[in-house]
Structure 1
Amino acid sequence: MDSDKKKFRMFDVILTVICVVFVAEAAAPVAAIGNQQFFWWILLIVAFLLPYGLIAVELGTTYEGQGGMYDWVKRAFGNRMASRTAWYYWLNFPLWMASLAVMIPQILQIITGASIPTLPTIIIELAFIWIVVFISFYPVSDSVWILNGAAVLKMLLALTLGGLGIYGAMTHGVANAFTVRSFLPTLDMKSISLISVIIFNMLGFEVVCTFTDSMENPKKQIPQAIIIGGIVIAAIYIFSSFGISAAIPTSQISTSSGMIDALQILTGQKTGMFIGVMAFIFMLTLFGNMISWSLGVNNVVQYAAEDGNMPKVFIGKSKKNGMPIGVSIMNGIVATVVVVIAPFIPNQDLFWSFFALNLVMFLSSYIPMFPAFLKLRKIDSDKERPFKVGGSNFVIKLAAYAPMTIAIIAIILTAIPLSADDIGSKLPITIGAIIGYVVEEIFIRVKKIKNEELVKQNQ
């Protein structure tokens, strides 16, 4: 029987990777970069995705367990850096949930054709948040059929948009000029700051490493899943982004509603059955994002809290099924606070404000992983590695430092105003990121003082 259980289909693995990594709402911000997005996709696949994916595979197959990146960083650098990794990894999730929550009323307006006042808007946003929290109380949030179903819906939406884009381009022309020059990168800071979204679209591949116990040959199957999944996801993103670019001039693309806007333009319908169905599918993909990510984030954070490297408020399991209730509730509380204060934030594009802050925290959690990979190679060289990144010492260091450097640059471009025009849109992101970093440093400091007091008491 045990041998029968260890036969997780490659098809399931690839669909799970697509569900976790491909986020449909990120297609519009990527399309807003313009045709130069295709240059950045190719560059970042080579310089970021490939080395990051291979490193995640080596670490994930060598050090199995619920802790994931938290464990890897702790082994390499100790409790403090591990605590930061877990904190940033957690904080991104309720921020991401809040960014999606503010999209739900917009989608419902498209489906119903009715305008929604401010108070009902907030109620709908809170309903989305707490439905996700409630679902995360149960193991069904990690069931294969939900992951597969969400992946299929995401691909259906992206392929429909891309297909309509091709049809529109052939029959009515395109909204943006597709010339050789338009594909070359520019120094337009607004476009370059959105490159972080492409990187965000490449993160999460380490999730496949959790299926090692269910595979007959993880050393072979995991790299295959990373490569196939990465190619499929990149193709889907590029295809759907093309559909948006074909319909809407780059300067007019909304980072929040760009996908639905493009469908409306390409079909010539503001409302109607088709647009309503597509908007409903898009809304389901948002739930799929949260459900597929909740278990992984919640388990890592609870694991870190039980290890003493996250606040005790995150400790708490369901007596019935052992699910991490404490983390789920904290997710809901933080996301609730964010959407309630949203009307007072000066930036009108609330989705991008919250999503960008989520990007900053998420990328911050990955940065220690790359030097941790190098250090573990040195201090734990005798450890058996079912999969090992090949190459000379120089190649290995390049594979680690290239994606780390790119992530740091992406954080700076996303969070720091680099011109006077950026202040209005980026200042809330800057302030939010500073608050996120400072709170964690206060926790680390308080923990250090408590540990020193315990040492004195025991002497």
Structure 2
Amino acid sequence: MNEDVQLSRSLTLTSIIAYGFAFMALITVFSTYGVASQISQGMVAGSYVLALIVMLFTAYSYGQMAKAYPVSGSAYTYTRKAISPYAGFLIGWAILMDYLFIPMVNFLLFGIFFSAAFPEIPMQLWILVLIVVVTYVNVKGVKVGARANMLVLSLSLLFLLIFSILSIKAIVQGTGTGMLLNIEPFFNSNESFKYVIAGAALLCFSFLGFDAVSTFSEEVKNPKKNIPRAILIVTIIGGIIFIIVSYLAHNVWPDYNSFKDADAASYEIMARVGGSALESAFLAVTAIVVFGSASAAQASASRVLYAMGRDGQLPKSFFGKLSKKTKVPVNNILLISLLSLSALFLSLTLVASFINFGALIAFAFVNISVIVLYFGKERKRSLRGIIKYFIIPSVGCLLNVVLLFNLDSYSKILGSIWFGLGVLYLIFLTKGFRQKLPEMEMDKDKAV
């Protein structure tokens, strides 16, 4: 790698928030609503509340670690620096499941939506088109991506506002429950709370945008201040939007067992709320948001690979190299695009199963990293320190572990296989743990 080439600090707080929301894909609440309704027995809003609580604890820990290590790498860097290089490598390997497969999910969704609207054109062609466009945007640099994300965010918020207004109007006119105030979307006394937990285990991944924010720490201005702010803003606003939309959707269509197709439940809800016009608008906005999410996901994944390559834990000559012109990891972006071609033959269910496992493991270890760094190494053990650096991250870790064990068995099996491969690679890389992992020490890569 040419040491003179570094990531460019060109992103503002607004830009990095837009990246987070683009990665999060705010209208993902519609993509998962039907399945989440059945898993949670209709208590989707309650599941989102629980998921938001868990994510707020974890977002807090991400913010604390971003202050200490304002560099690329996210959970990988935090765990590596606070706990050990071995732990950091395994967490980086785990989180790669999310970053490498989330773009594939978006490419698949794009193909599914547009092949449904234009059945004469093969789904594979739509997927190829989006892969090419997303790759081009990210290779051109973060400024181009930031402008695209602002457009995606604006359209998403506009559509969500329109949906909410039309839903309220329909409910007032007697559609669905006919009640604007209803506790059942949050908690149903006739159903076990375990369904709310199961729903939260699925829905917490709607919040992955705050994690993506931290991967741009070396490209945002004043990262020690702006990264923690952006993480909390993305988590809180995203959570509130998810809760409101899922609450209104339940009241519009309370009988979650009557959907013709749980995966396409949102289309049925759109038709009930706003007819074919809203259905068409939903298709158009979803396509745009899927593009934004795929772009942000691909960009974030390339930064994680860059951080691991720069440290020598992946081949540095390939993964740790930046473009002299655009100052972005072009090799990594192209590799992710190449891997994304597997979306041409993989199913959406299979790809989505990989995502769940790695995220919760990484979230748990970021919470543990706060404890090890601040409470352990820095010995911040005043009453305030105990609360900030032990109690809060301990609760966050525990909640993530609870959700991890509530994942479906398919996710846990696939995730364990991937994690096991990471362990084998680590053993190979360290020659049976007889050698230290290669690591690049940089002044800006040290804790403050």
Structure-1-length-normalised TM-score: 0.78
Does 1:405 pair with 2:402? no
Change (3 A) 1:370 1:104: same
Offset at residue 375 of structure 1 (A): 0.8
- Distance (whole Å) between structure 2 residues aligned to residue 335 and residue 150 of structure 1: 22
Answer whether contact 1:302 1:324 (CA < 8 A) is retained. yes
Answer whether contact 1:92 1:362 (CA < 8 A) is retained. yes
Answer whether contact 1:155 1:236 (CA < 8 A) is retained. no
Name the structure 2 match of 1:375: 372
Q: Once the two structures are superposed, what CA deviation does each residue of 1:151-200 show, in whole Å capped at 9, x if it has no partner? A: 11221222222222212212242169875456326437666433124322
Name the structure 1 match of 2:444: none
Residue 29 of structure 1 aligns to which amino acid in structure 2? T
Change (3 A) 1:454 1:194: closer
Offset at residue 222 of structure 1 (A): 6.0
Change (3 A) 1:322 1:15: closer
Name the structure 1 match of 2:445: none
Name the structure 1 match of 2:354: 357
Name the structure 2 match of 1:245: 250
Name the structure 1 match of 2:268: 261
- Distance (whole Å) between structure 1 residues aligned to residue 341 and residue 55 of structure 2: 33
Offset at residue 83 of structure 1 (A): 1.0
**Range 55-64 or range 255-264, more displaced:** 255-264
**Equivalent of 2:280, from 271, 276, 279?**
276
* Secondary structure at 1:323 match in 2: coil
Name the structure 2 match of 1:137: 139
Residue 81 of structure 2 aligns to which amino acid in structure 1? R
Does 1:25 pair with 2:31? no
* Secondary structure at 1:411 match in 2: helix
Name the structure 1 match of 2:78: 72
Residue 86 of structure 1 aligns to which amino acid in structure 2? G
Structure-2-length-normalised TM-score: 0.79
Change (3 A) 1:438 1:389: farther
Name the structure 1 match of 2:423: 441
The 5-angstrom pairing of residues 58-457 of structure 1 reads 58-109=64-115, 111-112=117-118, 114=119, 120-140=122-142, 143-174=145-176, 179-180=182-183, 183-184=186-187, 186-187=191-192, 192-205=197-210, 219=225, 225-248=230-253, 249-252=255-258, 256-269=263-276, 274-310=278-314, 314-342=319-347, 350=348, 352-378=349-375, 380-381=377-378, 391-393=384-386, 396-416=389-409, 427=410, 429-449=411-431, 452=434
* Secondary structure at 1:286 match in 2: helix
* Secondary structure at 1:268 match in 2: helix
Answer whether contact 2:29 2:206 (CA < 8 A) is retained. yes
- Distance (whole Å) between structure 2 residues aligned to residue 137 and residue 28 of structure 1: 28
Offset at residue 301 of structure 1 (A): 1.5
- Distance (whole Å) between structure 2 residues aligned to residue 360 and residue 213 of structure 1: 28
- Distance (whole Å) between structure 1 residues aligned to residue 342 and residue 223 of structure 2: 45
Offset at residue 11 of structure 1 (A): 5.1
- Distance (whole Å) between structure 2 residues aligned to residue 413 and residue 35 of structure 1: 18
- Distance (whole Å) between structure 1 residues aligned to residue 383 and residue 56 of structure 2: 13
**Equivalent of 2:46, from 39, 43, 47?**
39
Name the structure 2 match of 1:419: none
Change (3 A) 1:315 1:251: farther
- Distance (whole Å) between structure 2 residues aligned to residue 445 and residue 149 of structure 1: 45
Residue 105 of structure 2 aligns to which amino acid in structure 1? S
Q: Once the two structures are superposed, what CA deviation does each residue of 1:320-364 show, in whole Å capped at 9, x if it has no partner? A: 43422332233233332254143xxxxxxx3x4422421222222
Offset at residue 28 of structure 1 (A): 4.0
Change (3 A) 1:26 1:224: same
Name the structure 2 match of 1:423: none
- Distance (whole Å) between structure 1 residues aligned to residue 105 and residue 213 of structure 2: 25
Change (3 A) 1:197 1:148: farther
Structure 2 unmatched ranges of 5 or more: 1-7, 438-448
Q: Once the two structures are superposed, what CA deviation does each residue of 1:269-315 show, in whole Å capped at 9, x if it has no partner? A: 2xx5x533331111110111122233232112212123122356644
Change (3 A) 1:396 1:11: same
Answer whether contact 2:49 2:243 (CA < 8 A) is retained. no
Offset at residue 56 of structure 1 (A): 1.8
Answer whether contact 2:375 2:389 (CA < 8 A) is retained. no
- Distance (whole Å) between structure 1 residues aligned to residue 162 and residue 49 of structure 2: 23
* Secondary structure at 1:201 match in 2: helix
Q: Once the two structures are superposed, what CA deviation does each residue of 1:65-92 show, in whole Å capped at 9, x if it has no partner? A: 1233222211122221111122222221
Answer whether contact 1:18 1:229 (CA < 8 A) is retained. yes
Change (3 A) 1:357 1:161: farther
- State percent identity of aligned pairs: 13
* Secondary structure at 1:398 match in 2: helix
Equivalent residue pairs, number: 419
Change (3 A) 1:64 1:180: closer
- Cα RMSD, aligned residues only: 3.7
- Distance (whole Å) between structure 2 residues aligned to residue 409 and residue 338 of structure 1: 31
Answer whether contact 1:14 1:225 (CA < 8 A) is retained. yes
- Distance (whole Å) between structure 2 residues aligned to residue 62 and residue 430 of structure 1: 32
- Distance (whole Å) between structure 2 residues aligned to residue 451 and residue 216 of structure 1: 38
